[in-house]
Structure 1
Amino acid sequence: MDDHCRACLAGLEHCHGTLIHHVLQAAECTEDGCPGEVLPHSFALDCEAVGCRCAQVYALAV
């Protein structure tokens, strides 16, 4: 086993950040300068996991 990223070693475009999915907004990444959903991410989560309330606001509006 190697301690380097397999995608980096293979020369694949990807991001090491975490993609955060929002309900009504574009997804955002924890890495500065990342174009978001354009690149593959190893980690992704819903925005509620980081304290965002946009899903609750959307549910109240519907």
Structure 2
Amino acid sequence: MSMECAFCTDGIDHCHGTLVVHPDGGFAECTDPDCADLARVRHGLIIDCQTVDPACACGAAVVTEAVLRQAS
């Protein structure tokens, strides 16, 4: 008995990769190098770039700006 992706079986357009979203302007990238469309609706797993190890530097800059604004 083999397992199959229900979306593949039903012919639904989707991606098996993880969409990594960056806070600076909504930029996103996918872990699947063959991903054709970065739309959120196509991805079953969406994470913030700060959860990637090592964490993305773009999120640190956004957090630092927010902290500095609050301190002012």
| TM-score w.r.t. length of structure 2 | 0.72
Partner in structure 1 of residue 63 of structure 2: 59
Aligned Cα RMSD in Å?
Answer: 1.9
Which blocks of at least 5 consecutive residues in structure 2 are unaligned? Answer: 67-72
Residues 27-51 of structure 1: per-residue CA shift (max 9 Å, x gap): 1100113121265111111101111
Give every structure 1 segment of 4 or more consecutive aligned residues whose post-TM-superposition deviation is greater than 3 Å: none
Query: Percent sequence identity over matched residues?
Result: 35
What is the rounded CA distance, in whole Å, between the counterparts of 1:58 and 1:38 in structure 2? Answer: 22
Which blocks of at least 5 consecutive residues in structure 1 are unaligned? Answer: none
| TM-score w.r.t. length of structure 1 | 0.81
